């Protein structure tokens, strides 16, 4: 027994371990959690795989990467001073601007001194006797803390396609989620893009501006909607800066924390003329309005969804000259809004360029990547560059890539094998003192709004524990059951949960992810917050504490 342990080998809070809390990840979640825990006087260490802060906006440097959330609704809201100091230049900021913002935040709050970069966490094991977590980095070093806080990101574990020969290609090859820091030129080159999700769409429309020849390999077309981005004028800037209270209040009130709210009317209760006029207006509205602010039954009523999808299909037919190509770009296996809607700027017009070709890999599947390019069942292509816009092992991917073991050596991956179960997306029974930020089953939507809530909730819990001399918090089994049932209940009747997508846990490039699961909470953010607030107000009865 050491001086810092009691008779049961348990370390007292703040003693016998390297840190009070270890946070994994220095994106928006990890940075804000660090700041909040410092305010509690806790000794905190953040381990981050990258060489800088920013998470998503550090890694995704691919051409065309930018927000789909309005810049001013996405940023941190916790500091009025910061809100006034930072001026967004565009309504939907490009990645370099967002990364600059997050670096500015790191400087302003002196965050870097507690962040260890180039430090990928390989394992995190709970020590039953000392009630601490032992973290091992890829370099073999170990670190311990009372609390383990995961801020690993819902979309941060890139996946490559399961194709033979990946790695044999002799030209340039990039994954959008690990895009290099050096400039990449497309000029005069023969470029292939594999993938047409939100990232693929942003990449394609940008690469097409300078490329020699572009070949797009598409498995599933998505319903894309014009972003309608623009510079923020001085006048708009003044208005934005004077209305932050209203902006964030509105985000707090909406279903998914966006500025857009659904129209209370049902799609088919209005006249066809009214409907078309409304949809035309939404099509021209910047951002997610058409997805988040459409008729109230768009995502629950099949016929409503069909009618709205047909409106968008018509737009695609109008914008793409070759109707055979247009047809390939129109989704057939899901309706508008039932998967993440990519935002675009002249995406469909790209296919009118003579130097752009669309290959439907459901018709002619890719057989393999070759040293010179890509071989499908119909043709052999030669390329100078292949861009993998094949997305992420979403939601649980970054957890699965760490060997996380809770009490009695229970592995988190095994625990979730039969389906994800959490308590408000923050805790898992059997994993004491582990808190997840934007983990599975938390409200997502306009994510930083959910991040700030999650972080504040975890901070209040840790404060409560500190004030009450508690060193252990673990969700009770019945609390996990109750929350998981609520998540299931909220998923019912939503067309999006009948579709394969990362939101339903499907990724055919990942073992064990071919079946739909409830990967996310699909109820409203206000309902989510109400549940969490009730738990806090009642003194965390849902958690076993000691
Ligand atoms: C291209 C793209 C565009 C997006 N656009 C929007 C948008 O417009 N609006 C919106 O609301 N959301 C958007 N998102 C979602 C975005 O992920 C969140 O908004 C937000 O950035 C999540 O922040 P985070 O800190 O929780 O996670 P992340 O930003 O993903 O950060 C997680 C960090 O954890 C680190 N990490 C993970 N595992 C380990 C490990 N084992 N060891 C050490 N470090 C580790 C990663 O390196 C990363 O830096 C977008 C996502 C992508 C990929």
CA 420 – ligand 1 centroid, Å? 20
Is the distance from the beta carbon of residue 351 to the nearest atom of ligand 1 less than 6 Å?
A: no
| 150 within ligand 1 shell (Cβ under 6 A) | no
Contact 533, 454 (CB under 8 A): no
How far apart are the CA of 248 and the centre of ligand 1, in A? 21
State residue 496's pLDDT score.
82
Rounded to whole angstroms, the Cα distance separating 496 from 244 reads 32
Distance 56 CA to ligand 1 centre (A): 4
Q: Whose CA is nearest to atom 34 of ligand 1?
A: 25
Instruction: List the residue whose alpha carbon is closest to atom 48 of ligand 1.
Output: 55
Which residues have CB under 8 Å from 402's CB, separation 6+? 24, 121, 122, 123, 124, 152
Which percentage of the chain shows pLDDT scores above 70?
97
Q: Which of 155, 292, 443, 449 to mutate to test the pocket of ligand 1 (most atoms within 8 A of CB)?
A: 155
209, pLDDT greater than 90: yes
**Binding site membership of 442 for ligand 1 (Cβ less than 6 Å):** no
> pTM for this structure?
0.95
Is the distance from the beta carbon of residue 27 to the nearest atom of ligand 1 less than 6 Å? yes
Q: What is d(CA 525, CA 450) in angstroms, rounded to the nearest whole number?
A: 8
User: Closest by alpha carbon to 517, among 487, 480, 493?
Assistant: 487
The minimum-distance atom of ligand 1 relative to the CA of 401 is 41
Distance, in Å, from the CA atom of 407 to the CA atom of 133, rounded to the nearest integer, reads 10
Task: Give residue 78 CA to ligand 1 midpoint distance, Å.
Answer: 19
Q: Is the pLDDT of residue 500 over 80?
A: no
Q: Is 60 in the pocket of ligand 1 (CB under 6 A)?
A: yes
Share of the chain above pLDDT 90, in %: 89
CA of 436 to the centre of ligand 1 (A): 13
Q: Calculate the alpha carbon distances from 5 to 129, 132, 143, 543 in Å.
A: 10, 12, 17, 24
The model's confidence at residue 516, banded by pLDDT at 50, 70 and 90, is confident
CB-ligand 1 contact for 226 (6 Å cutoff):
no
Give the pLDDT mean for 283-301: 95
Atom of ligand 1 nearest to the CA of 119: 43
Give me the pLDDT at residue 15, please.
Answer: 53
Q: Which atom of ligand 1 is nearest to the CA of 27?
A: 25
Whether residue 156 has its Cβ less than 6 Å from ligand 1: yes
- For ligand 1, whether the C-beta of 455 sits within 6 Å is no
Atom of ligand 1 nearest to the CA of 92: 8
> Which pLDDT value is given to residue 5?
37
Between the alpha carbon of residue 399 and those of residues 20, 380, 437, the distances in Å are 21, 38, 12
- The four Cα atoms 406, 411, 417, 420 give a dihedral, to 10 degrees, of 30
CA of 299: how far to CAs of 3, 198, 284, 448, 498, in Å? 59, 19, 20, 24, 11
Residue from 212, 189, 186, 191 nearest 354 by CA = 212
517-535: average pLDDT:
92
DSSP string, 245-272: HHHHHHHHHSTTSSS---BSS-GGGS-H
Which atom of ligand 1 approaches the CA of 30 most closely? 25
For ligand 1, say whether the CB of 120 is within 6 Å of any of its atoms: yes
- Tokens standing for residue 514: 């071919």
Mean pLDDT value of segment 464-490: 96
Is the C-beta atom of 438 inside 6 A of ligand 1?
yes
CA 57 to centroid of ligand 1, rounded, Å: 7
- Judge whether residue 324 has pLDDT over 90: yes
DSSP code string of 114-137: GEE-S--EEEEEEETTTTEEEEEE
Q: Is 34 in the pocket of ligand 1 (CB under 6 A)?
A: no
Q: Is the CB of 24 under 6 A from ligand 1?
A: yes
Tokens of 37: 């825990």
- 110 or 339, higher pLDDT: 110
Dump pLDDT digits (tens) for 374-422. 999 999 999 999 999 999 998 899 999 999 999 999 999 999 988 899 9
Average pLDDT across the chain, whole number: 94
pLDDT band at 119 (very low <50, low <70, confident <90, very high): very high
Neighbours of 442 (CB within 10 A): 26
Centroid of ligand 1 to alpha carbon of 324 (angstroms): 37
Give every CB contact of residue 3 below 8 A, 6+ residues apart in sequence: none
Ligand 1 pocket, residue 435 CB under 6 Å: no
Nearest alpha-carbon partner for 199 in 164, 224, 165, 163: 224
Our answer on whether the CB atom of 47 is closer than 6 Å to any ligand 1 atom is yes
Q: Are 211 and 355 in contact (CB under 8 A)?
A: yes
Q: Token pair for residue 402? A: 């760490």
CB of 155 sitting under 6 A from ligand 1 = yes
Helices 447-467 and 244-253 cross at an angle (nearest 10°) of: 90
């Amino acid at each position: 027994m050491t001086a810092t342990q009691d008779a049961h080998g348990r370390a007292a809070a703040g003693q016998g371990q390297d840190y009070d809390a270890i946070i994994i990840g220095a994106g928006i979640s990890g940075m804000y959690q660090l700041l909040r825990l410092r305010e509690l006087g806790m000794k905190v260490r953040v381990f981050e795989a990258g060489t800088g802060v920013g998470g998503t906006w550090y890694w995704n440097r691919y051409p065309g990467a930018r927000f789909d959330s309005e810049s001013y609704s996405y940023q941190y809201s916790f500091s009025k001073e910061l809100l006034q100091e930072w001026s967004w230049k565009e309504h939907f900021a490009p990645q370099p601007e967002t990364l600059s913002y997050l670096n500015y935040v790191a400087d302003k709050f002196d965050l870097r001194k507690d962040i260890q970069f180039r430090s990928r966490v390989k394992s995190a094991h709970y020590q039953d006797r000392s009630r601490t977590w032992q973290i091992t980095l890829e370099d073999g070093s170990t670190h311990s803390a009372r609390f383990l806080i995961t801020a690993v990101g819902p979309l941060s574990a890139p996946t490559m396609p399961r194709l033979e020969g990946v790695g044999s290609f002799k030209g340039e090859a990039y994954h959008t989620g690990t895009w290099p820091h050096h400039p990449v030129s497309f000029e005069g080159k023969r470029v292939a893009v594999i993938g047409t999700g939100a990232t693929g769409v942003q990449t394609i429309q940008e690469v097409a501006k300078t490329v020699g020849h572009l070949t797009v390999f598409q498995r599933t077309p998505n319903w894309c909607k014009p972003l309608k981005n623009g510079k923020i004028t001085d006048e708009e800037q003044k208005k934005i800066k004077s209305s932050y209270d209203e902006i964030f209040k509105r985000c707090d009130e909406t279903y998914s924390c966006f500025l857009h709210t659904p129209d209370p009317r049902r799609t088919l209760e209005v006249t066809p003329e009214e409907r078309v006029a409304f949809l035309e207006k939404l099509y021209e509205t910047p951002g997610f309005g058409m997805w988040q602010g459409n008729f109230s039954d768009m995502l629950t009523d099949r016929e409503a969804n069909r009618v709205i999808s047909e409106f968008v299909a018509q737009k695609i037919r109008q914008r793409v000259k070759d109707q055979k190509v247009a047809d390939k770009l129109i989704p057939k296996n899901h309706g508008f809004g039932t998967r993440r809607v990519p935002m675009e700027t002249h995406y469909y017009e790209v296919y009118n360029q003579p130097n752009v070709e669309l290959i439907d890999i459901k018709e002619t599947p890719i057989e393999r990547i070759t040293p010179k390019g890509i071989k499908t069942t119909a043709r052999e292509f030669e390329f100078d560059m292949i861009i993998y816009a094949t997305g992420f092992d979403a939601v649980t991917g970054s957890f699965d890539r760490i060997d996380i073991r809770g009490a009695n050596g229970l592995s988190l991956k095994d625990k979730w094998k039969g389906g994800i179960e959490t308590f408000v997306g923050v805790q898992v029974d059997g994993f004491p003192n582990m808190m997840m930020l934007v983990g599975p089953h938390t409200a997502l939507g306009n994510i930083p709004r959910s991040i700030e809530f999650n972080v504040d909730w975890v901070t209040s819990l840790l404060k409560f524990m500190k004030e009450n001399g508690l060193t252990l918090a673990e969700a009770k089994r019945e609390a996990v059951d109750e929350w998981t049932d609520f998540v299931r209940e909220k998923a019912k009747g939503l067309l999006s949960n009948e579709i394969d997508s990362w939101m339903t846990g499907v990724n055919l490039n990942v073992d064990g992810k071919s079946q739909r699961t409830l990967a996310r909470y699909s109820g409203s953010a206000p309902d989510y917050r109400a549940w969490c607030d009730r738990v806090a107000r009642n003194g965390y009865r849902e958690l076993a504490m000691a």
